Amino acid sequence: MKAITLSARKLLMSIGCMACPVFAGAHGIDDHSTDPAYAKYYQQPVNWGGCPPSLFTDGTTIQCALVTVPVDWADPGQGDIAIGISRPLDPPPHSRLLLVNAGGPDNSSASMAEMLEQLHPEVQTGHLVVGVDLRGITDGTGTQVSCDYAPRSGAENFMDGDSRNPTVAGVRAQQDWWNRSMSACLQQHATLLKGINTPNHVRDLNLVRAILGFRRADLFGVSSGSSLMAYATRMFPGMFERVVLDSNMNWEHLDWQRQSLKRMAMDQLSVQQAFMPFIARHDDQFHMGTTPQQVLTTFQRIYRAASEHRMGSVTPDQALGALDGTGMWVFWDLLVSPSLSAMSQALDGDPAHIAYAEQIAAMTFADLRTRSSFNPMAFALQCNDSGSSDPRGIAQKIADVRRYWAIGASTLVDYCQNWPWRPVVDRALERRTVVHGLMLQNEFDPSTPYSEAFEDRLTNGRDVRMVLVNNGATHGIMFDDNTCTNDTEFAYLNFGVMPARDVVCQADPMHSFAMHDSVTYEYGFPATGWWLPLPPIVQQVSWPLVP
């Protein structure tokens, strides 16, 4: 949040080595920039205008524009769609381009780029910062689609608002309902949905670079955006130079369903070892108890009351959904604390307290039973990229939901079970190429587990470095103001200085806007010097939701 510090300048001279040119003379695969069939895309003007409010920001300090891209880069005759991009309203002098993707994958990169500029203005040192939305996202300005859910039978797990109490028949009914919903969606929008995949997103990024007049670009990807930016360096190594990967998926072998399984266990461990202790230390905000065990007991009472319909229309899934927002500190004041506090107070049976709990639950967490339509973008991306790869049977899924109750139910349905197209991620390209970049990673990140980032780091060798935040327990390092990570990150991004070896930074205590801890957490392997510790053992999970 401040200009480059003295320690960063020392870093330039002491620990860094100038980043080597990216694959000198290498051009990757053809980007069609000289093909007449694609000339209209590369020659299009960019017309900047206002930006709508978004999830994180109000859009007042940025400009937005629409970029036309082919719905299928392999066949421009299939038609066109539009994606949204953003830039600062008054960009400072710059000679480089930084393309930002917000992850999600259904997050607005326009708002994330704006938030990045506000939290870390040093990101604009020599850079024009441009947010680039994925095609089809809900929280964006480009081409979108909406599909109707299939009629519900009443047998699905969530029909009583309680996906954490599955049965074999319920799982089968939910899978059948999803298959019918997506089948109808594909009949309506097959051409567009087939084109939503990581290789096409990379080509969109490259097009934005070209039409903005830059020969090369730097990249900043957060969360699932790390997989996009990593794949971009594989496809076009000569086009993308300094690459920052914040909160890493397993981009060494991109597989969305297996990533979800790893996240399920790590998220549960973090709920037990970090988030419930945090809630206990801030009882004045959450009203759930002053010890982790008291917090768990209160939450078990909330879950039971919702299951027995003693909390009005509040469902067990809405109660569990409150905990799903704890991975990012920005949500503790905005969503988590108000939701859990209201539900805790409603346990007294007071009609006024119940009414408030109903109001905030409905406002904050969607009840799937009342939703009539959905945006298929995120599902299309996952299915097109890596397909159906969950090896578990129904019995194992049910067992996992009961053990990893925080988000385990999100893995019950195989969204790609009847997907009509083969996965498009090029495994041969993954095997024969490496990723060049700087990885940023929290040790106890519940959404993009360190175990996956650790595998990326080991497999990719010396072509990447990792900045690990020891005992960091949240998601998204860009949201924190850690001097150690900032100095290393911006020495690389702004000056091309890659650290000579991995960097281990120490986490600041967990915090939000109104709540600040005085301690950090240690439930993994201790870090020693600059050596990366082993990932935490997720089998430590031991707290049942239902006693």
**CATH code (residue 497):** 3.40.50.1820
**Contact in structure between 114 and 86 (CB atoms under 8 Å):** yes
Residues 207 and 347 both lie in one domain: no
Residues 300 and 433 both lie in one domain: no
Residues 131 and 249 both lie in one domain: yes
Q: Which pLDDT score is estimated for 328?
A: 65
The one-letter amino acid code at 167 reads T
pLDDT in tens, 455-468: 999 999 999 999 99
Residues 36 and 95 both lie in one domain: yes
Q: What is the mean pLDDT of the chain?
A: 90
Q: Is residue 472 part of a domain?
A: yes
Residues 347 and 492 both lie in one domain: no
* pLDDT bucket at 7, cuts 50 / 70 / 90: very low
Residues 42 and 69 both lie in one domain: yes
Q: Which pLDDT score is estimated for 12?
A: 33
Q: Is residue 535 part of a domain?
A: no
Q: Is residue 304 part of a domain?
A: yes
Domain carrying residue 312: 263-370
Q: Is residue 345 part of a domain?
A: yes
pLDDT in tens, 265-303: 999 999 999 999 999 999 999 999 999 999 999 999 999
Residues 87 and 137 both lie in one domain: yes
**Contact in structure between 163 and 317 (CB atoms under 8 Å):** yes
The one-letter amino acid code at 370 reads T
pLDDT in tens, 477-524: 888 889 999 999 999 999 999 999 999 999 988 888 788 888 888 899
Q: How many separate domains does the chain show?
A: 2
Domain end among 353, 370, 387: 370
The whole-number average pLDDT for the span 525-532 is 90
The whole-number average pLDDT for the span 160-189 is 95
**Contact in structure between 54 and 139 (CB atoms under 8 Å):** yes
Q: Which of 90-94, 97-101, 152-156, 158-162 has the highest mean pLDDT?
A: 97-101
pLDDT in tens, 466-489: 999 999 998 888 888 899 999 999
Q: Which of 149-158, 279-288, 376-385 has the highest mean pLDDT?
A: 376-385
Q: Is residue 246 part of a domain?
A: yes
Q: Which pLDDT score is estimated for 311?
A: 95
Tokens of 507: 């986490």
The whole-number average pLDDT for the span 13-36 is 56
* pLDDT bucket at 152, cuts 50 / 70 / 90: very high
Residues 37 and 132 both lie in one domain: yes
pLDDT in tens, 228-254: 999 999 999 999 999 999 999 999 999
Q: Is residue 319 part of a domain?
A: yes
Give the whole-angstrom CA distance, residue 71 versus residue 183.
Answer: 20
> How far is residue 129 CA from its own chain's centroid?
20
> How far is residue 167 CA from its own chain's centroid?
30
Reply yes or no on whether the pLDDT at 56 is more than 80: no
Residues 234 and 277 both lie in one domain: no
The whole-number average pLDDT for the span 79-95 is 94
Q: Which pLDDT score is estimated for 327?
A: 66
Strand partners, 499: 16
Reply yes or no on whether the pLDDT at 134 is more than 50: yes
Residues 332 and 473 both lie in one domain: no
Q: Which pLDDT score is estimated for 335?
A: 80
Reply yes or no on whether the pLDDT at 325 is more than 50: yes
Lowest mean pLDDT among 79-83, 309-313, 329-333, 387-391: 329-333
Q: Which pLDDT score is estimated for 3?
A: 33
Residues 460 and 344 both lie in one domain: no
* pLDDT bucket at 115, cuts 50 / 70 / 90: confident
Q: Is residue 356 part of a domain?
A: yes
What percentage of the chain has pLDDT greater than the value 70? 93
Residues 268 and 248 both lie in one domain: no
Lowest mean pLDDT among 8-12, 82-86, 202-206, 523-527: 8-12
Tokens of 323: 């905990």
Residue bearing tokens 């319909």 = 309
The whole-number average pLDDT for the span 96-118 is 89
Give the whole-angstrom CA distance, residue 230 versus residue 176.
Answer: 35
Domain end among 326, 349, 370: 370
**356 or 362, higher pLDDT:** 356
What percentage of the chain has pLDDT greater than the value 90? 73
* pLDDT bucket at 4, cuts 50 / 70 / 90: very low
Q: Is residue 188 part of a domain?
A: no
Q: Which CA distances in Å does 80 have to 49, 71, 133, 201?
A: 21, 5, 16, 14
